[in-house]
Amino acid sequence: MRIFPWALTVFLFAASITAWPAADLATITNEQIERMVANLGTNDTERGTIRKRLTGWKELLASPKNSGLGDPEKLKVVNDFMHETPFYCDPVMWCMEDYWAKPVEFLANDGGDCEDFAIAKYFTLRGLGVPDAKLRIVYAVYQRSGPGGFTGAHMVLAYYQTPDAEPLILDNINQSVLPGSNRPDLVPIFSFNTAGLWSAKEQKGRVQPTDHYRSWGDHWRQVQADNPLRSISPEQRKAPECQALIGRSPWCR
């Protein structure tokens, strides 16, 4: 029987994961919504979609009913809401090989890939009062068997009821909230939240983060930075450099 290593040991990489108040990335006002509608929408359909997604998110977060739910019910509410947003690979969505969007960026653009789903769920659950210690974004290897199968880097959100509990997995590929042992197609590598980064391998003592881990830390800091929202036009997606990225990515096929 294969051991599924969802018990994650601390990697002591907190110095490169900048802490950030979750509320700052899980709040939005009507004025901000209308500003994004005006700045990002190029036609009535786009403007309507932006307003609908951001208003729905605002109402989800502001609802006393949602805040009063137990954690399992919060997981379902947030998971279901986020999966109303379509999946697009990074080259199609952002004309970049790898881009991590803020929750508002993901929803306003009405699309994103695995890390965008995981990040949006993470901060939204934090905004609903789920403690940071119970949530980790997990970098994993996804293995799809059968015709058209492939192996690729993937990202999901894990919820731990207690530190030693088997986590529940929120994933854009399999949209059911399932225990980690029910996801043999995922092999976790490391996980992180605003407190630090953990390795999925059994390790003891202090270890030095590699350049690979630092690059993920750079992405995570960018999510939490106060940068302008990114949006790509259909014309930009037709550019040769963007089309070349799309052609190379297995997630775009």
CA separation (Å) from 137 to 50, 95, 107, 120, 198?
26, 23, 18, 10, 10
Task: Record the pTM.
Answer: 0.87
* pLDDT tens column, 111-152: 999 999 999 999 999 999 999 999 999 999 998 776 667 788
- Rounded to an integer, the average pLDDT of 18-39 is 78
The CATH number given to 9-226+247-252 is 3.10.620.30
pLDDT of residue 14: 40
Each domain of the chain, given as residue ranges in start order, spans 9-226+247-252
The amino acid that residue 25 corresponds to is L
Listed residue (244, 232, 30) closest to 112, CA to CA: 232
The amino acid that residue 144 corresponds to is R
User: How many Cβ atoms from other residues are within 10 Å of residue 51's Cβ?
Assistant: 17
Answer yes or no: are the C-beta atoms of 165 and 175 closer than 8 Å. Answer: no
Distance CA 80, CA 136 (A): 19
Distance CA 150, CA 148 (A): 7
pLDDT band at 5 (very low <50, low <70, confident <90, very high): low
87: which 2 tokens?
């999946």
* pLDDT tens column, 54-75: 999 999 999 999 999 999 999 9
* pLDDT tens column, 167-200: 999 999 999 999 999 999 999 988 888 888 787 7
Distance CA 51, CA 58 (A): 10
